[in-house]
Amino acid sequence: MSIGTFISFEGIDGAGKSTHIARVADLFSQAGRAVVLTREPGGTPVSEKLRELVLHEPMDPLTEALLMFAARREHLVQVIEPALVRGDVVLCDRFTDATFAYQGGGRGFDWQVLGALERMVQQRPIQDPSSVSDPHAGHDRAGGNPSLRQPDLTVWFDLDPLIAAQRLASARVPDKFESQPADFFAAVRAGYARRLAEMPSRFARIDAAQAMEAVGADVTRIVRDWLHRRAP
């Protein structure tokens, strides 16, 4: 049975989510929960190798989408699903919504094809059906397709791409995605908005243009309220 908590964090590059994920981890640790902090693409040795490729090598859009989902499959099987079965809290810096936003919105890759890949990769049960007995497989608290593994809660740091670009300008050497122009990120943002519209019950949108402390306060409130509502 899957009894853990799965929370993902999303937003365009420069939206500032990383700092706040650590804060949410502290919140759960203080409440005595075991926390698994992870990220996509990445989170396993194989997935981290795929991350190196997709973040730095130019490639065909279908190849890019397939590698994102390949990395995700490995991550789900090796890390996310076992943690949820143990009852841990999984905090994931990006998940499938990023593929819809970046490859779907940003690159203009076919939304329906991404949906087919999502179903293939996230169909429950994730592990070999003969090795797990999960009475809750097929029951998804978060809405959407009931038989897919999805985050229970997705915190979306929503930010105007022009502000994000200003924040990133001084930050670091950009990777393949970070070096995209502002209109790419406007399309990524629209991709996130479309995912929210498709699955509103698991999304919480935060105005990431606020000062960092205000964003942090929003994140804490959202997670606390959500846990409160979810409590039996």
Which residues in this chain contact ligand TYD in the complex, by CB under 6 A?
13, 18, 40-41, 55, 68, 93-94, 98-99, 102-103, 177-178
Locate the DSSP E strands across 85-216. Answer: 89-93, 153-158, 203-207
Tokens 């690159």 sit at which residue?
Answer: 107
How far apart are CB 32 and ligand TYD at their closest, in Å?
28
How far apart are CB 19 and ligand TYD at their closest, in Å?
11
Q: Residue 114: which residues within 8 A CB-CB, separation 6 or more? A: 65, 99, 100, 103, 104
How far apart are CB 86 and ligand TYD at their closest, in Å?
23
Q: CB-wise, 6 or 102, nearer to ligand TYD?
A: 102
Q: CB-wise, 33 or 167, nearer to ligand TYD?
A: 167
How far apart are CB 70 and ligand TYD at their closest, in Å?
11
Q: CB-wise, 41 or 125, nearer to ligand TYD?
A: 41
Question: How far is residue 229 CA from its own chain's centroid?
Answer: 21
Q: CB-wise, 39 or 124, nearer to ligand TYD?
A: 39
State yes or no: cis peptide before 161, omega within 30 of 0: no
Neighbours of 182 (CB within 10 A): 13
